[in-house]
């Protein structure tokens, strides 16, 4: 009888070891799957971050180009205004003439009249 009990106990221990080994293998597989999933997600996030940074860099470069173009246009506008409007300076002349310089040439105006609308 004790041999039968020993055989039953040995079988139970063997089945328990097999179940434990299967559980360990299952946990190892789940751990590998989780690590694989984490690596894949990290790769996806890194790709999105790289794409975002590239897009940001392109936008910053475009903004810099537009700012440079606007500055150049503003400078050109100021030059045009200077040429078109000339520079006027009221000279303390005895005749009270107004001197205007347009494109480097000086003009004197002795009489003034109101502009008509």
CA distances from 83 to 64, 69, 71, 78, 80 (A): 29, 21, 18, 9, 5
Q: Which two tokens stand for residue 13?
A: 């221990």
The pTM of the whole model exceeds 0.75:
no
Q: What pLDDT does 107 receive?
A: 74
The dihedrals phi and psi of 45, each to the nearest 5 degrees, come to -65, -40
Domain ranges of the chain: 2-81, 86-117
DSSP category for residue 115: P
Q: What pLDDT does 2 receive?
A: 86
The arithmetic mean of pLDDT across residues 79-102, rounded, is 63
Q: Residues 29-87: pLDDT tens digits?
A: 999 999 999 999 999 999 999 999 999 999 999 999 999 999 999 998 888 777 666 55
Q: Which residue has the tokens 């008509």?
A: 116
Strand ordering across the sheet containing 87-90: 87-90, 98-102, 105-109
The arithmetic mean of pLDDT across residues 9-30, rounded, is 95
What is the C-alpha radius of gyration for the chain, rounded to an integer number of angstroms?
45
The arithmetic mean of pLDDT across residues 76-103, rounded, is 66
């Amino acid at each position: 009888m004790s041999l039968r009990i020993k055989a039953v106990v040995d079988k139970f221990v063997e089945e328990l070891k097999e179940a434990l080994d299967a559980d360990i293998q299952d946990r190892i597989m789940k751990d590998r799957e989780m690590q694989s999933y984490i690596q894949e997600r990290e790769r996806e996030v890194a790709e999105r971050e790289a794409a975002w940074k590239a897009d940001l860099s392109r936008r910053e470069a475009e903004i810099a180009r537009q700012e440079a173009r606007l500055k150049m246009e503003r400078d050109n506008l100021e030059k045009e205004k200077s040429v078109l409007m000339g520079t006027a300076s009221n000279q303390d002349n005895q005749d009270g003439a107004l001197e205007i310089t347009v494109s480097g040439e000086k003009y004197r105006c002795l009489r003034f009249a109101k502009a008509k609308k």
